[in-house]
Amino acid sequence: MFHHVVSYRRSLVLILCTILFLETQADSDICKKCTCNSLTTRINCAHRNLPSIPQPIPTNVEYLDLRGNKISTIKEGAFTGLSNLKTLNLRGNNIATIKEGAFTGLSNLKYL
């Protein structure tokens, strides 16, 4: 029985390390294009000539500035998993299409 407990613990640690690694990769991908604070709770992608919303976006982000880009479409699920997002700035884009479900799950969004 003890062997099974140790095996489960190892599996759990491996899963947690994988999740942490993937979150770190998400942070670094968007932070190559945009400016991120150390905790990636504030991401500034303003005036970067972005044609679309950069993905993946870290799930802990609270402030996302996408103003002044060339975003024309907001796809379904563009902000999936961003339940901590409070401020989303999309001003100054050429948004012509917003797909159904684009803003689903933004339960804490205060400013759009």
Mean pLDDT by 10 residues, the chain (112 residues): 59 53 56 91 97 94 98 96 97 97 95 96
Which domain CATH number covers 83?
3.80.10.10
Q: Is the residue at 10 inside a domain? A: no
Q: Is the residue at 7 inside a domain? A: no
Q: Is the residue at 47 inside a domain? A: yes
Q: Is the residue at 89 inside a domain? A: yes
- Cis preceding-peptide flag for 51 (omega within 30 of 0): no
Q: Is the residue at 104 inside a domain? A: yes
| Residue span of the structural domain in which 78 resides | 27-111
> Considering its fold, how many domains does the chain have in total?
1
Q: Contact 69/49 with Cβ under 8 angstroms?
A: yes
Residues with Cβ < 8 Å from 89, sequence gap 6 or more?
Answer: 46, 64, 65, 66, 67, 111
pLDDT on residue 26:
44
Q: Is the residue at 22 inside a domain? A: no
Q: Is the residue at 68 inside a domain? A: yes
